[in-house]
Amino acid sequence: MENDNENKYVGSDAVYAEVQRTMRLVAEMNSGYRTEEEVRACLSDITRRTVPADMRVFTPIHINYGPGVSFGSDCFLNFGCTLLALGGITIEDDVFIGPHCVLATEYHPEEPSLRHTLLTKPIVIRQNAWLGANVTVLAGVTIGRNAIVAAGSVVTKDVPDNSVVAGTPARVIREIHQ
């Protein structure tokens, strides 16, 4: 089921300040080699919440709004991921995210007179899901438990539990039998 929660982004000074803070901290985290422990400490500071001790991230990654991101246990984010998180991104336990994935909770209306308005919808990546390299997940999408998103896919709609999706836009190509 598609997520119908839609929020009009109102550019407050507090949000702008948090975006600037996040970008500064992310740049510092990405500026040189960091141990896994150091990366987790940086991400805890960026997200303003405790990052699980078994989570792994290969930097660089890019985040525009740290408090919008929540990481579960035993997750892995590969090199070059981008998290546009003003709408909120929840990554549950045991999720693998391949290199150069984009999770974009933000978008603009089609109507030309409203195009400068920024809208948001949350993204949820459920337990044990796997995103291949160069996957793009758009605002309002939930990736189901145990689902696999094939490399290069653009996900515009919710992905059912225990399914494999591929393509642009991503479509179910088969179920995963356990």
CA separation for the pair 40, 24 (Å, rounded): 16
3-state secondary structure (DSSP) of residue 8: strand
Annotation marks residue 62 as catalytic:
no
AA identity, residue 29: M
| Cβ–Cβ < 8 Å for 43, 29 | yes
The tokens of 70 are what?
Answer: 């929540």
Distance in Å from the first CA to the final CA of the chain: 22
Distance between CA atoms of residues 61 and 134, nearest Å: 13
- From the candidates 62, 100, 108, 116, give the one annotated as an active-site residue: 108
Angle subtended at Cα 141 by Cα 90 and Cα 18, rounded to the nearest 5 degrees: 45
The residues annotated as belonging to the active site are: 108
